[in-house]
Structure 1
Amino acid sequence: MTSVPPDQPTEPQQPPQPPEPPQPQDPPQPQYSAPQYVETQPQYAAQAPAPVGYSQPAAQYPQAYPPQYGYAAAAPRTNVLAIIALVLSLISVSIGGVITGHIALSQIKKTGEQGRGLALAGLIIGYIGSAGWVLFWVFLIVAPLIFAATMATTMGSLDYSGT
């Protein structure tokens, strides 16, 4: 019989295990990546069955845009009187455009609304239109009076006596 020295174990020795090779790690994710969208089917209320001879669509088209959450930012408001001033000035109601343009500028200064350019355009076009109307009426009324006065003086100076 063979005797086993006391400092050695009685079980057979296993050969030393080689170190495990390093496991492949996931490649680092880019800092900015394309968003991942999950296609979801819209939830509709129960639909009535299709009439005989008609069928439901075969496939649903994917959504063109991902669903949007929340509310869009509100656009700054445009002063309504500024719009009215411009419209009135453009349709030849010049005095109305001038009056509403001045009121709109005052409101815009107080409230900070948009539309200052519209109010100024309404004012400028309104003043030009008002000047045009004044010239029109002056020409329509004063020119015939001047013409009549000129004709009267010219006709009065003519001598029809024949001598």
Structure 2
Amino acid sequence: MRASDADRERAADVLKAGYAEGRLSKDEYDQRLQRVHSAATYAEIQPLIVDLPQGPVPMSGPQPAPVLPVTFQGHPRPLAPVTPYWAAPPPVSNNGSAVGALICGVLAPMTWGVTAVPAVILGHKAKSEIKRTGERGEGYATAGLVIGYLAIAFWGLLIVFGLGLAAA
């Protein structure tokens, strides 16, 4: 669902409170705030504030230990941690440059090597983006690089030997 300006402002307030309480460093606060203001959907906003309190945190005294259910053998069974549905991490997507590198590499033999150079460029770009962002697609980028370099070498040798034979 698309987020409104009011939703982005509420998220910015949560981040501001988290920074004021010392839960976020200045760099992390600035980074998250920038991403909140550029977010278009709730799915983009939620991961940025899910680990921060989103309202007054009640101060309480010591809590009693939870009573663990007992199994039929008399041993306590540990309680499973409850993860709220909104805390699920967003799905990790494939890097677009990696997919482009693979496509350009696969097309290189059919385009007389014209797409080999873009395959190499996109492959290196994708590798650095994947390292920085944690996206998937490392294999696509590697395949695009390998095919691109092989196509460049093949067409380079073909041109060199072709010109050598034509001169002889």
Please, what TM-score do these two structures have when normalized by structure 2?
Answer: 0.43
Indicate the structure (1 or 2) with the bigger Cα radius of gyration: 1
Judging by fraction of residues, say which structure has more helix.
Answer: 2
